[in-house]
Structure 1
Amino acid sequence: MKHEIKLIALDLDGTLLNSEKKLSARNYAALERAAALGIQIVPCTGRLLCALPEAVRGLPFLHYAICVNGAQVVDAETGRTLCRADIPHERGMEVFRTLSALPGVYDCYMDGHGWMDAAMYDRLEEFAGSPQSLAFLRSIRTPVPDFLGYMAEKKRDFQKIQIFFHTREERMRYEAELSGPLGDLNLTSSCANNIEINSRLAAKGEAMAALCRTLGFGPENAMCFGDGTNDISMLRLAGVGVAMENAEPCVKEAADVVTASCDEDGVAQMIERTLL
């Protein structure tokens, strides 16, 4: 390694977790051994803190978490937010009006919870790629009868807005179309058929680098793992950026190394080969 690795940042879905959204024994063991060497283990996810699976939140060596694509950095032991970058309320309402014209279902994260129009919530099965994904999507979203009215009344800023389409091709088409009207925001994807919309100031890479500086070293001392376009910023900034075999092609291009897939314990394979 060119630089000593002092922090490992890991995307969850499609990276640390397998396709059944489970943490394997081999991945757990590799993280445990790395932590014993003094390396910080940091989940870096599009999820809310409350949506981290218990297998991850319960890691005895977990001290920090980067959530909502970098919109929130949290002290995992106390729950205290170290930094955050939200979409202003009025801009978020404009985004909802733009998304309403598209053939998908959308939702938002606000104040640490997921919210979705009840009619769209009832259609989630059309957009979930697996029973596990459907169960997860439903578990962290609260359906409300009049979503836009509810959000207008709350007058709160938004941590993240996202929209799901039926196919990857549909997502790619509308991502290109949205790059104009939503050009002031950060558009990424964590799975084949979704677009995630964050503040321009919110990105996994910037949040990872900020946490590294807080801990007294730089992003060159980080090894980062990911599979989606929302992981590209941290793969590029890290001393070692690692893409999963199941990653999008553009994610592999941004990485220094490609490891095995999430169903083959690719995280553990890389850590075992290079750090242990």
Structure 2
Amino acid sequence: MCNGAYVIDFENNKMLYSDLLDMSDVRYIYDTVKAMDMDMMFELQADGVIYSERRCIEDTKRYNAYHIDEFIKKTRVPVENIGEYIASRDKPVAKVNIFFPTAEIRDEVVEKIKDINYDLSYSEGTNLEFNVKGTTKAKGLVALAEYLGISIEETMAIGDNLNDVDILKNAGISVVMDNARDEIKKLGDFITLSNDENGVAYAIKELIK
């Protein structure tokens, strides 16, 4: 989960693997981007939820995230002031996610911080994700395979965006959603239906016999 930042056995409530951001890292990221005076929707993924500022959750169109508005409203835990929440929180987080009003603003931020000591990725049109350097979904998959006592060749990964590249390249079977970019589809052993057509369920039904 969270680009490979942690793997959890939910049935037994057991953390199998984690590579988390300390709050000192989160504060550094927040202060660095905030100093650029960019409008942003700054989020923390931790504790099995996503913390986001209430005003941003209520105005997803501002950050060009209206297409996932319902998903955001269902999955976010609102805080009144994200800066104050970051200042008061002690426990580490899995990932920082930031939505910007446009992809151009996001790309401008990336250019300014390209040498920052964190892994940068994105999975939506205007977002930017921060993880501990070296964190990948493929590492999480390897940890899961070891826990289950299977080889990496016996695993299957499903993805649709740039933050899925490493896991698609390493999994035994790589499945790509039909709504994915063309360059991502080239990595797939199997192209399933789109997100809106229950593509994950379709792939499992077709490939897991």
For the criterion TM > 0.5, the same-fold answer is: yes
Q: CA deviation at 1:201?
A: 4.3
Q: Which moved more, 1:145-154 or 1:202-211?
A: 145-154
Question: What does residue 108 of structure 1 align with?
Answer: 44
2:63 paired with 1:129: no
Question: What does residue 20 of structure 1 align with?
Answer: none
| 8 Å Cα contact 2:45-2:96 kept in structure 1 | yes
1 or 2 for the larger relative contact order (CA 8 Å, sep ≥6)? 1
Task: Please tell me the root mean square deviation across aligned C-alpha atoms, in Å.
Answer: 2.5
Structure 2 CA distance for partners of 1:160 and 1:268, relative to 1, 3 Å: closer
| 8 Å Cα contact 1:99-1:163 kept in structure 2 | no
**Counterparts of 1:113 and 1:245, CA distance in 2:** 27
Q: Paired residue for 2:73, among 98, 116, 138?
A: 138
**Counterparts of 1:275 and 1:143, CA distance in 2:** 38
Q: CA deviation at 1:226?
A: 0.6
Give the SS at the match of 1:135: helix
Question: What does residue 97 of structure 2 align with?
Answer: 162
After TM superposition, the score normalised by the length of structure 2 is 0.83
- 1:197 corresponds to which letter in structure 2? F
Q: Paired residue for 1:252, among 172, 185, 188?
A: 185
**Counterparts of 2:26 and 2:208, CA distance in 1:** 42
Give the SS at the match of 2:16: strand
Q: Which moved more, 1:154-163 or 1:263-272?
A: 263-272
Alignment of 1:25-40 (within 5 A): none
Question: What does residue 93 of structure 1 align with?
Answer: 27
| 8 Å Cα contact 2:161-2:184 kept in structure 1 | yes
Q: CA deviation at 1:94?
A: 0.6
**Counterparts of 2:168 and 2:121, CA distance in 1:** 14
Alignment of 1:154-233 (within 5 A): 154-181=89-116, 184-233=117-166
Alignment of 1:263-274 (within 5 A): 263-271=196-204, 273-274=206-207
Structure 2 CA distance for partners of 1:122 and 1:260, relative to 1, 3 Å: closer
Runs (4 or more) in structure 1 with deviation over 4 Å come to: 268-275
Give the SS at the match of 2:7: strand
- 2:30 corresponds to which letter in structure 1? F
Q: CA deviation at 1:272?
A: 5.0
Please, which runs of 5 or more residues in structure 2 have no aligned partner? none
Q: CA deviation at 1:158?
A: 1.9
Structure 2 CA distance for partners of 1:256 and 1:176, relative to 1, 3 Å: farther
Give the SS at the match of 1:236: helix
**Counterparts of 1:146 and 1:152, CA distance in 2:** 10
Structure 2 CA distance for partners of 1:125 and 1:179, relative to 1, 3 Å: same
After TM superposition, the score normalised by the length of structure 1 is 0.65
Structure 2 CA distance for partners of 1:122 and 1:274, relative to 1, 3 Å: closer
Paired residues, what number?
206
Q: Deviations over 1:167-187 (max 9, x none)?
A: 344444433443222xx2222
Q: CA deviation at 1:73?
A: 1.0
- 1:211 corresponds to which letter in structure 2? L
**Counterparts of 2:110 and 2:186, CA distance in 1:** 19
Give the SS at the match of 1:251: helix
**Counterparts of 1:73 and 1:266, CA distance in 2:** 23
**Counterparts of 1:139 and 1:232, CA distance in 2:** 27
**Counterparts of 1:153 and 1:166, CA distance in 2:** 27
Structure 2 CA distance for partners of 1:103 and 1:261, relative to 1, 3 Å: same
